[in-house]
Amino acid sequence: MNLFNFQKYMPGEGTLMVVIASFIGLAAGFANILFRSTEEFVRHMIFEGGLTQIFGEEGLSVFHSGDVFLFKGFGPAVLLLPLIPIIGMILLIPLAYFYPGEVNGYGFTKFLRKVNLEGGRIKFRTIILKTLSTSLTIGTGGSAGVEGPIAQVGGAVGSQVGQFFRVSGDRMKVYIAAGCAGGIGAMFNAPMAGVFFASEIVLLGTYEISSFSALVISSAIATVVARATYGESPAFPIPDYQLVNPMMEIPLYVLMGIIIGIVAVIHIKFFYQVRDRCQDIKINPYVKPIMGAAVIGVIGIFFPQIMGDGYFYIEKVLHGEGVLWVMLALIFVKIAATAITLGTGGAGGVFAPALFIGAMIGGAFGGVCHMLFPGMVAGPGAYAAVGIGAFLGATTHSPLTAIFLLFEMTGNYQIIIPVMLASIIGTVVAKHLHHDSIDTVDFSREGIDIHEGRETAIMRSLKVGIAMSEDVDFISERANVNQLLKIFSMAEDSFYFPVLAETGPKAGRMMGIISLQDVKAILHDEELRLSATVGNICARKVVTLTPSDNLYDAMTQFVVKGIEEIPVVESKDEMWVVGMLKRREVIAAYNREVLKRGISEKTASFKIS
């Protein structure tokens, strides 16, 4: 007899979740400090040090002034500027060599794949690799952002905790999302933005109250750690703007939202076109980032604002100090620079470039409005602030993240209404023109709708060709029923047979399918059974698949038609039968893939759920 019931003294599920989420937030906060310190060290030593070496002591102040055309003040010496980002990409080579596929390019899509499709097992070295590679890219002038990588660093922290406790797949996703929330919250000093980033982008908008509480706790703890180190000011403070004339300005913000949605689609399409072209270039992969860095350096001679994350110029635009034609030009120059940096193999994210582009769109739009309606609308800085949130929402299809980010940065209820309108309208327009966000294009190219869930995504990623059986019994259209019954008696596990045309231009091709059900109707009519041919009684309207179709579509046909086998043909036009697909083979292929990816929850010997 037990004198004590120790079970009742053990922490419950809710308490355990709070403790673990707090630890993840604490670790994510310190990882954020490490990340920012590394990036600041690289920027100070290489970028700022390089500017000082090239241009002298005044070079750094001139660069951060936001003026264009550096060569006007420094002459031929400015031609050395591309050497700074080139040095960063040269230093990136050892990381890319020893850890291929984990360093170069825009890695957030791969991260989403790991979280939502592959069980969320992220290696500890991701924390180190993302910190170093992103710092070497952005800290030397590459046009990219730190927010995507810091989310991956935080997610890696959460994954390590999940692997330590050997949790189930669903709980692993929560821990990773909690780490991402902590990373983003700490980076922007905006805990609610971190929560909605994790829920909208990482968890794809599917979460429960229990998981939401973990995100809130982690983001809050990580933000506290960041504030204790860097203070309470946001990433870039936004002046306290207000609506001057709501009846006039609200329609203007709506129009700006439409423009932002269109530009967001241009940004997404151009980003992937450049990346695809760069991948097709047949040169050493370690040389491509260096070439991209050289291009960024040349662009930086004319538009230095695009180098790095560009936060210094965003602040100038938010304070109404942007030049109209410069802001208009920077919209497209930054789009190109970001695509080149990440497309050629630089490391980083697209979050900061989205904020930059949005600020330029808003600032330019506000500048035009201020010229047309002087004294009747707010200054360009107000529109720039709204543009930051709207373009971020339109590019990532995450309007709530954008809305809460701007609200936490401003604390201003007046500007939140324009942000809500422009963000939602921008996102709707972008979705209407282009189904994918900047994070989901690769999934759609593979036929995967990542928002449908892990099971559906796995089914869509598998092709009919890997599951079908090529051992097929055919029967001629001229065969009689007795011959058919003989084939049925010899068949081991198949009761559907393709019927082939014997003569004519389509000889040898499938013209129908026969099953035991078709034969039952005439078994008791001896005269009809002796006179009928297979071609007379077979089904002519046949559901077919091709080897390139996915198993999700195949299973849909099985369910809708209520059948067990479907013939697989070479193409819909040429009905050459190449195999048969059985329902059970689809299920078996799915189970094999689940085990292969290591995401079966039954494999965990110890769970916290």
The CATH number covering residue 35 comes to: 1.10.3080.10
Judge whether 602 lies within some domain: no
- CA-nearest of 436, 434, 435, 429 to 254 is 429
Strands (E), 418-571: 475-476, 496-500, 510-515, 565-569
| Between 476 and 236, residue with greater pLDDT | 476
Where a domain ends, among 201, 230, 259? 230
Q: Please tell me the predicted confidence (pLDDT) of residue 601.
A: 39
Q: How many domains does the chain have?
A: 3
Q: Between 541 and 144, whose confidence is greater?
A: 144
Domain range enclosing 293:
246-437
Q: CA-CA distance, 162 to 176, in Å (whole number)? A: 8
pLDDT tens column, 369-408: 989 998 889 889 999 999 999 999 999 999 999 998 888 8
Both 389 and 255 in a single domain?
A: yes
Task: State the pLDDT confidence band at 536, using cuts at 50, 70 and 90.
Answer: confident
In a domain, 374, yes or no: yes
Q: How far apart are CA 55 and CA 538, in angstroms?
A: 84
Is residue 511 very low, low, confident or very high in pLDDT (cuts 50, 70, 90)? confident
- The answer to whether residues 120 and 172 touch, using CB atoms and an 8 Å cutoff, is yes
The DSSP output letter for 500 is E
Residue 262 lies in a domain: yes
Q: Are residues 157 and 305 in the same domain?
A: no
Residue 389 domain-assigned? yes
Identify whether residues 32 and 165 lie together within a single domain: yes
In a domain, 539, yes or no: yes
Regarding whether 270 and 194 lie in a shared domain, the answer is no
Instruction: Report how far residue 180's alpha carbon sits from residue 83's, in angstroms, rounded to the nearest whole number.
Output: 34
Handedness of CA 174, 180, 183, 184 (dihedral sign): negative
Whether residue 223 contacts residue 150, with contact meaning beta carbons closer than 8 Å, is answered with no
Q: pLDDT tens digits, residue range 112-169? A: 988 887 778 899 999 999 999 999 999 999 999 998 899 999 999 999 999 998 887 7
For residues 159 and 12, the model is more confident at 159
Q: What is the CA 443 to chain-centroid distance, rounded?
A: 8
Q: Do residues 512 and 419 both lie within one domain?
A: no
Shared domain for 354 and 380, answered yes or no, is yes
Asked if 44 and 144 touch (Cβ cutoff 8 Å), the reply is: no
Residue 154 counted as domain residue: yes
Q: Could you give the CA distance from residue 340 to residue 346 in angstroms, rounded to a whole number? A: 8
Q: Are 328 and 366 part of one and the same domain?
A: yes
Residues 375 and 408 in one domain: yes
Whether 312 shows a pLDDT value over 70: the answer reads yes
Q: What's 504's domain CATH number?
A: 3.10.580.10
Please tell me whether residues 254 and 223 are part of one structural domain: no
Q: How confident is the model at residue 602 (pLDDT cuts 50, 70, 90)?
A: very low
Q: What is the pLDDT of residue 432?
A: 95
pTM: predicted TM-score of the whole model, two decimal places: 0.80
Q: What is the pLDDT of residues 62-71, one digit of tens each?
A: 666 666 665 5
In the listed set 162, 196, 230, which residue is the last one of a domain according to the structure? 230
Whether residue 519 sits in one domain with residue 385: no
Residue 4 lies in a domain: no
- Evaluate whether residue 240 is within a structural domain: no
Q: Of 215-219, 265-269, 356-360, 533-537, where does mean pLDDT reach its minimum?
A: 533-537
The amino acid that residue 48 corresponds to is E
| Secondary element (H or E) of residue 441 | helix 441-445
Could you tell me if 357 and 486 lie in one domain?
Answer: no
Domain check: are 420 and 487 in the same one? Answer: no
pLDDT (average), residues 276-281: 93
- Domain final residue pick, 437, 455, 486: 437
